[in-house]
Structure 1
């Protein structure tokens, strides 16, 4: 079925990692607001937001301040990636070949794929717990499988269906979380709701980091959901609709988790606290969250599949992946994640925190390099044909400047890290505060810009080829 700008797009997405031609572009920038607002009203950000008061012992006021600061800062990076989609017309990870080279990008694509799979597995655990909370007779492992199947169907249908569901979800989930806030504030069950916890610099910075990472973790696939928009869409419009949607939706969910935990007795699991804190409307809230996590988790499955296709296509460059290829890979990844999620569900929060803290280290240098390359060096102008060539075309198989900046960007974070695997000496000296993501951004960005601009061979590559796309 052929789609033009004036006709409806096909229900089942036909494109995978290839360039989306003008005749297949569709949608409005407001779709980005609903996608990222509705997609962030979900159990996983609620659980993550609760960590500020659960694990880092902040009180409500300082917890909210840390959450807002983290999302406001991290959301800028996330939305800048989103604005690349209409200009490039290709998924984010395949675009990384223009910065790292056709083979050099493999490491970044692999890391992104692992991230998607980790978030997918984490989300289906929460889907299983939500379903069990609604229907006690459904065991958590069964709920995990049901949640995974629901996300799988949405992910296989693809881009358009994901946007449609989140347009609906924005209104339904937005109303639901406002109702939930109202109930909790009028039925607080603890005497220390406003006084439990206190300000501590390490906990505050850790909470800021978690919120910022929540946004940065979207960076490797956020432009996948804007790439079908017409190339004529202004960068500013794409940026602001994405930024407002993701910051507002995720901040509400993070704060909701903190409020629910503080309104219930100490030591409760976050989703159990949500059910108890929302009282008579608790089952309704869990149903809404269950539907949300199934819908939103399709994004993680979709991103994982595109990453795998990118990895395979790098070597099997004659292969033209189709919707069928995407469906088969979706089923394989879904089955593997179900197996892993059932085994990890008993210690979900511990596994999740370990994962996100590691992601801080590997995602920040990539996002810095990608944004500097797009906005400051290439200024949105890329040779799309070269990106899909086995030898990388004008971008080559490797970009030493990007790989060197990426390695240094990871290394400079090590002294500032605070993870279950390793605590850096500087972090230990400042009571465990994790500043690694901030250091990674501040070092990698100017370093890559300097390396790229001093390399005469790289400048020659920029001046050759067909640079058809521009901001």
Structure 2
């Protein structure tokens, strides 16, 4: 490692939510591939995959097909968001001001914060379960707190250390996952139960939807990492590096989870992992997964901190968040996430499944609006400086058209929802098949494009006080 790389690795990141200057741009598609491979190398990915053959009761082969299909579809949208980072050089949720206005974007920013903190807490719960599978007498609360502390140290340094840690996780946990797969394929329990289960279109479509939302759940922060890549040459590498890294790793570990669910349906997923691999490799796998989840959790809090700073900056005219503000925000969110993890340690699987379902319905309209606006309406051309103007510049404070499409994009999904706590009339007619995500995606994208072509103010929501003055950020 060069001296420059070492200095970057262990230096506190000074950039926060401002545009990344040209002299700070670095990275490649290969590095992004490693980052997103590492991001999914967590027990949470395995546990989510296990829902296909446990909660949804699918046989292994249909479960595997649903996992592959869902991630392949969702990964396209997620990677298209990642390709925006090198061009604009700003966090993904700040770029939402281009569609919703400076203050209107706060709606999706708050949703993103809730999502990131939810995933952070979920990872803490599953990390704790991994350690307790090794040391049953260990204190789960102490493990959760220790994992949160490790995440905070990494997140405090910022982008470069987070990137390196997730790269290491990709190789270490990837090797452990291969060992786990080999052990799984060598167990008679797997082959004896590989056809067990009952295929249903509702279960199959639910697992496809989980794959889609798993990928789109990353969409609100993929640009937070690709924004450091070179502007002129980074978009293509950002797309493929993010797509392949995220899809390959998530499919690999969810297939592992589905297989574990087949072999030991009566055991908690991480305990079953230990039973499959044997005492030595089982403990090694669980320990590696727990460390990777704790370290990789820094990604969730890093990005939620950027969202938090974006939210606060909206109401503090001329405020430029510094490193100390990022670290303070990170500390606050770590505490909140740890408290949620401590409270949600019981009945985790069912509550997490419901969390994923709700998350999907909220993310779909935002993703559709953002992608249509970026690729079809503005062709990637934004006045980034206007994002930091109190008035919102040419984008205004509120874009009522985009917000209306977003709300309607959620509403039109309601009849098609099929969850543990609610099933819409259309879903019941379809036999429990959940296509709400597809309805929301198509409606939101088509409606927003049609409005932008018919109503000029939907594209340029110019505030009366907007001027061409340079924001304090750029001075």
Task: Give TM-score, length-normalised by structure 1.
Answer: 0.94
SS at match of 1:52: coil
Q: 2:389, 2:160 → 1: CA distance? A: 28
Q: 1:460, 1:283 → 2: CA distance? A: 57
1:236 alignment counterpart:
236
Q: CA deviation digits over 1:81-110, x for unaligned, max 9?
A: 111111010000111011100111111100
Deviation of 1:157 after TM superposition, in Å, equals 1.1
Contact 1:46 1:253 in 2 (8 A): yes
Contact 1:74 1:212 in 2 (8 A): yes
Q: 1:152, 1:342 → 2: CA distance? A: 17
Equivalenced residues, count: 462
Q: 1:163, 1:146 → 2: CA distance? A: 21
Q: 1:430 to 1:267 in 2, by over 3 A?
A: farther
Q: 1:412, 1:173 → 2: CA distance? A: 41
Q: 1:213, 1:168 → 2: CA distance? A: 26
Deviation of 1:284 after TM superposition, in Å, equals 0.6
Q: 1:282 to 1:293 in 2, by over 3 A?
A: same
Q: 1:64, 1:426 → 2: CA distance? A: 27
1:75 alignment counterpart:
75
Q: 1:4, 1:290 → 2: CA distance? A: 31
1:270 alignment counterpart:
269
The answer as to 2:283 corresponding to 1:283 is yes
Q: 1:302, 1:146 → 2: CA distance? A: 18
Q: 1:9 to 1:230 in 2, by over 3 A?
A: farther
Q: 1:419, 1:81 → 2: CA distance? A: 27
Deviation of 1:19 after TM superposition, in Å, equals 0.9
1:453 alignment counterpart:
453
Q: 1:396, 1:214 → 2: CA distance? A: 32
Deviation of 1:248 after TM superposition, in Å, equals 0.3
Contact 1:4 1:23 in 2 (8 A): no
1:469 alignment counterpart:
none
Aligned runs of 1:69-468 on 2, under 5 Å?
69-189=69-189, 192-264=192-264, 266-280=265-279, 281-458=281-458
Structure 2 unpaired stretches of 5+ = 470-475
SS at match of 1:53: coil
Contact 1:100 1:399 in 2 (8 A): yes
Contact 1:26 1:230 in 2 (8 A): yes
Q: CA deviation digits over 1:317-346, x for unaligned, max 9?
A: 222111111111111121122122111101
Q: 2:306, 2:253 → 1: CA distance? A: 27
Contact 1:39 1:295 in 2 (8 A): no
Q: 1:86, 1:75 → 2: CA distance? A: 18
Q: 1:106, 1:168 → 2: CA distance? A: 34
Q: 2:416, 2:250 → 1: CA distance? A: 26
Q: 1:358, 1:8 → 2: CA distance? A: 38
Structure 1 unpaired stretches of 5+ = 467-471
Q: 1:378, 1:10 → 2: CA distance? A: 38
Q: 1:345, 1:220 → 2: CA distance? A: 26
Contact 2:190 2:260 in 1 (8 A): no
Task: Give TM-score, length-normalised by structure 2.
Answer: 0.93
Contact 2:396 2:461 in 1 (8 A): no
Q: CA RMSD in A?
A: 2.0
